[in-house]
Structure 1
Amino acid sequence: MARPILAVRPLGFPWETPDPFLFCVHHRDAYPAGNEHMGPAASLAGRNLGQDFELKDGWRMYHGDTVPGFPQHPHRGFETVTIARQGYIDHSDSLGAAARFGPGDVQWLTAGEGVVHSEMFPLIHRDAPNTVELFQIWLNLPGEDKLAPPHFSMLWNSDVPRAPFVDGAGRTTEVTMVAGTLDGKRPPSPPSRSWASRPDTDVAIWCIRMEPRATWTLPRAAHPAAVRQLYFFEGDTFRVADDVVDRHAAIRLDAGADVSLAAGEMPCEMLLLQGRPIAEPVVQYGPFVMNTRAEIERAIQDYQRTQFGGWPWPKNDPVHARDAGRFARHVDGRIDKPTR
């Protein structure tokens, strides 16, 4: 039987991704208690504010000056999928949409022809730590959809399906499905112009958690042209078929094979990204991802001329009220809140 591992690479920052994905980053910051502005109740001395990516004291301010996070910035030509694991994320955008989402929630944003948004990490607890952990994944759009109308959507924790698999020893593997069907469970539909919305692209975004010494067989992809990457980011060791992986790594798998997985002596967590490649040229300039250099130049010109609709918020780094709770306010003014 052929070895199912095609390549193993160490995890970097960001994580390497295969087509149709462009980018994946795992943020985990152990923020302290929050102050009156929902920033860290701690000294910011010695930090390169506005460009603070050094993990000092276990956390970073990123591009934030008062509240950590990413003040307003533009995107064109792709989608962002943000999976919250711990803490809260405050979203505001040039469409007028806004949200606060937290553990287990997913935001899916089609940038399309252009959107400006901010992603701030409000430290809402004043008497306890405010750890923030999330994945942000960039999913490419094919050329015909790169100028699609922007679209903002929320998948609340209670709407994201989870499938438990119990092995013969009673140990559980749980798979959370942000995109892609497994065991008859299907997550809410992606935005209509997403590559993931097409029936023949076999896009899957799965979070996999295995109890110590649990075993589970990852089923083969449905589409013969799909590519599959497994990111092992939590745990000591785990086994892929006959190979032991003893370091956190990005593992390219043969998507056409069922693959047996086994956790080590600690719980293991993995992120799986899968999909049929778009197989088009990719030209990227910062937050713009197009097919040609001329399209990048047009994106820059359009942003300079229109600001992709302008910024309707009074600050570049808006955060919502401390007691706002989880919510989404859509472009049409509709307010959406989780059921739990």
Structure 2
Amino acid sequence: MSSANDIVQETRPLGFPWETADPFLFCVHHDDAYPPGNERMGPAASLAGRNIGQDFAGKDGWRMYHGEVVPGFPQHPHRGFETVTIVRRGLIDHADSLGAAARFGAGDVQWLTAGGGIVHSEMFPLLDRTNPNPAELFQIWLNLPAEDKLVPPHFAMLWSDTIPRCVFLDEAGRSTEVTVIAGSLDGKRAPSPPPKSWASRPDTDIAIWSIRMAPGATWTLPKAAHPQSVRTLYFFKGTSLRIGEHALAGHVAARVRSDVDARLQAGDTETEILLLQGRPIGQPVVQYGPFVMNTREQIQRAMMDYQRTRFGGWPWPSDDPVHGREEGRFARHADGQVERVGS
């Protein structure tokens, strides 16, 4: 049992997906060592022995997920929450029922408010035909409050070069780098989330930070701005991590107090942590697959609405579209606005 003074309140092993606390719904860490790609941007390797369409086994260190040619997630609906997709390595090709499209990676983040309903696909094109195509990403589901569950869908691109990175050195000169995807730290604020996000409200204290610590580094995580915020540290890379006086020997999710500073100390290898923090919404959560509402009746309505409208239909020639091999990182929004960044 933890005492009232312990910084670490609870630990749980990391599963698939990772358990989260209100206002978050879940977080999944995809890490796949894909081989070179073929002419169709799928893996240049045999797919024998895989449960194609439902391949989550991790054979040979990678998964096709629901993809049949290209790994990924062909068209599927969402209603009532948001997805925050952080691509650390590799690329994602996005297409949706509004006609929007994107290719993003290399530290980019897509923040999608599903709201009243959207259908989208998320495919992982393997562009390099000679070398391996490693892919690593987080997808976080952030809930919406009842009054915003049916807002018009909207996505924002947070391109890597717009996302703040704060570097701190300890007394021995060892570094800790914090990537601020949501919230603020050390006077730097993340790009704005979509307008109806729970994170867009000034009093919800949402923070999504990726923390990378050099071997042996120490860093003090400052207390949260809101006393009711719930804070979880997901220790997913490294041999060990110390939070205050609490030593973590395995990869776990650690619920920590948010009303006090917390001293972190990395073990003898590079250490990585994902921080999720926010003030809880505090409303009932009823989930059925890709729909997250407040009541069973609302779930039934979501299913009926999807069957009736397909949330706008699917304007693409296949369920799993990928963009051209030579296409760079870009976003084409539903209103026709196009953003283009580096390669």
The question of a shared fold, defined as TM-score above 0.5 by the shorter chain, is answered with: yes
Q: Corresponding residue for 1:157?
A: 160
TM-score, length of structure 1 as denominator length = 0.99
Q: Partners of 2:304 and 2:132 in 1: how far apart?
A: 43
Q: What is the RMSD computed on CA atoms of the aligned residues?
A: 0.8
Q: Corresponding residue for 2:81?
A: 78
Please say if 1:29 is aligned against 2:15: no
Matching residue within 170, 176, 180 for 1:177: 180
Q: Partners of 1:332 and 1:200 in 2: how far apart?
A: 30
Amino acid at match of 2:250: R
Amino acid at match of 2:198: W
Q: Corresponding residue for 1:6?
A: 9
Please say if 1:271 is aligned against 2:282: no
Amino acid at match of 1:175: V
Superposition pairs of residues 101-112 of structure 1, within 5 angstroms? 101-112=104-115
Q: Corresponding residue for 1:244?
A: 247
Q: Corresponding residue for 2:328?
A: 325
TM-score, length of structure 2 as denominator length = 0.98
Flag the 1:339–1:121 CA change in 2: closer, same or farther, 3 A.
closer
Amino acid at match of 1:68: P
- Tell me the SS of whatever aligns to 1:57: helix
Q: How far is the alpha carbon of 1:339 from its aligned partner?
A: 5.3
Q: Partners of 1:166 and 1:339 in 2: how far apart?
A: 30
Please say if 1:335 is aligned against 2:338: yes
Superposition pairs of residues 117-128 of structure 1, within 5 angstroms? 117-128=120-131
Segments ≥4 residues shifted beyond 4 Å:
none
Q: Partners of 2:97 and 2:187 in 1: how far apart?
A: 37
Q: Partners of 2:342 and 2:162 in 1: how far apart?
A: 9
Q: How far is the alpha carbon of 1:338 from its aligned partner?
A: 2.0
Q: Corresponding residue for 1:189?
A: 192
CA contact (8 A) 1:105 1:154 kept: yes
Q: How far is the alpha carbon of 1:103 from its aligned partner?
A: 1.4
Amino acid at match of 1:197: S
CA contact (8 A) 1:8 1:249 kept: yes
Amino acid at match of 2:56: F
CA contact (8 A) 2:328 2:341 kept: no
Q: How far is the alpha carbon of 1:76 from its aligned partner?
A: 0.1
Query: Which of 204-213 and 330-339 deviates more?
Result: 330-339
CA contact (8 A) 2:328 2:342 kept: no
Amino acid at match of 2:255: R
Q: Corresponding residue for 1:130?
A: 133
Q: Partners of 1:175 and 1:243 in 2: how far apart?
A: 21
- Tell me the SS of whatever aligns to 2:147: helix
CA contact (8 A) 2:329 2:342 kept: no
CA contact (8 A) 1:205 1:271 kept: yes
Q: Partners of 2:300 and 2:130 in 1: how far apart?
A: 48
Q: Partners of 1:214 and 1:125 in 2: how far apart?
A: 35
Q: Partners of 1:34 and 1:338 in 2: how far apart?
A: 23
Matching residue within 291, 304, 307 for 2:307: 304
